[in-house]
Amino acid sequence: MSRERTDSPEPVTSAPRRAFSPGFVHLVLALGGFAIGTTEFATMSLLPAFSHGLGVDEPTGGHVISAYALGVVVGAPLLAVLGARLGRRTLLMLLMAAFAVGNLLSALAPTFGVLLVFRFLAGLPHGAYFGTAALVAAGLVPPERRTIAVGRVMLGLTVATIVGVPLANALGQWLGWRWGFGVVAIIALLTAILVLAVVPATPPAANASPLRELGALRRSQVWLTLAIGAIGFGGMFAVYTYLASTLAAVTHAPGYALPLVLAVFGVGLTLGNIVVPRFADRALMPTAGGLLAWSAAALAIYPFATPHLWSITLAVLAIGIGGALGTVLQTRLMDVAGDAQGLAAALNHSAFNTANALGPWLGGSAIAAGYGWASTGWVGCGLALAGLAIWAVALLVDRARSVREPCAAAAE
């Protein structure tokens, strides 16, 4: 099977004074992911506090989460295209500085309407940062270690679910909800400074342009890869969104169990991003298909696991491991995007935020229809299987191309 890869991430060059090890550069890039993951997930736990503080009910307050997600979906392609002529270090620094400003403004928002606007602005750099950081990280290592490098960057996001979210929530409880956003602004500003000091300078490609980036949209495998993420990843969010309610209404778990189970979910995400990339660098598409099958199985088990705390905890751990799909698809986009790497890499996060909207909507519809809290597992299983079907189509297209190309060459 041949790959559609026509252009690898551009290798980085640097002056001797910036010759930091790839691992240290990956750590700095992961710090930005930690800031992004903290604000993305902690906003859900701060919802009661800022809703009360700004005088709105919680359902209305939930629009703040949607505003951030909308910012991610809009900002990922927009900023990737607009930043096509910038060096990647410069782009990363500007994106993280903008993210810091968005969160600082969120911490200072005087009214709910203003907070909605600032959360939208804070979401704009999210996808473009992860996409650009993944390309820089992959460019620092040999091709056979690209997915491991991308996984290191994504570890910032997964560790945030274990450490950053409880930290932001604790600060919100002790000092007020505004500090939950304020601490993220501080971490983001620190990341911007470290990016300037540590990340090697990379001049933009000679033919870089917004039009070249938009060329990614002409590639069928880019769209298929994005569809795998937008559909297949939705199952995880269908379960995660209603996990607290399921623990209370079905498992009848004590109050202290929720943060522990959420932490176990974060552990699953982290383990997945440590272990799975090692397989993906050997066999990328088979690993993606295996993860989708794993997720479908874990989500199918979830409804049977909900009555007992020990079993639902194990199921949530397994579902979290399936989250490594994001890292694998990030590398897949590098293979199929040709010379439009920036836009394709950023769109990966638009796809996952689409999943973040689709999964909870379908899961909520199942609950509202009377199928019960545990039915989110069946919804998630269906989405994972749909993602697996799209993966199979992408694999068939790859194989058909691998047959056509030798035939075309022989004809010439």
Domains of the chain: 10-207 (1.20.1250.20), 209-412 (1.20.1250.20)
Model pLDDT, residue 58: 67
Per-position b or e across 54-89, b if 16+ CB within 10 A of its CB: bebeeeebeebbebbbbbbbbbbbbbbbebbebbbb
Model pLDDT, residue 336: 82
Widest CA span in the chain:
72
Residue 386: count other Cβ atoms within 10 Å of its Cβ.
18
Comparing CA positions, the residue from 266, 240, 243, 236 lying closest to residue 162 is 266
What tokens appear for 131 in the block?
A: 């996409």
Comparing CA positions, the residue from 77, 175, 151 lying closest to residue 325 is 151
What tokens appear for 390 in the block?
A: 């799209």
Strand ranges (E), 113-208: none
> What does the pLDDT look like over 161-192, one tens digit per residue?
888 777 777 777 788 888 888 989 999 999 99
Model pLDDT, residue 186: 94
Q: Is 83 helix (H, G, I), strand (E, B) or coil?
A: coil
What tokens appear for 358 in the block?
A: 């689709």
Residues 221 and 337 sit within 8 Å (Cβ to Cβ): no
> What does the pLDDT look like over 29-67, one tens digit per residue?
999 999 998 887 777 667 777 888 888 876 677 778 778
Model pLDDT, residue 38: 87
Q: Is 63 helix (H, G, I), strand (E, B) or coil?
A: helix
> What does the pLDDT look like over 336-379, one tens digit per residue?
877 667 777 778 888 888 888 788 888 888 888 889 899 999 99
Residue 88 neighbours by CB under 8 Å, 6+ apart:
10, 12, 132, 135, 136, 199, 202, 204
Model pLDDT, residue 95: 95
* pLDDT < 70 positions in the chain: 1-19, 44-45, 58-59, 204-217, 339-340, 402-412
Residue 286 CB-density burial (10 A; 0-12 exposed, 13-18 middle, 19+ buried): middle
| Residue tagged 């991308």 (tokens) | 150
Model pLDDT, residue 15: 40
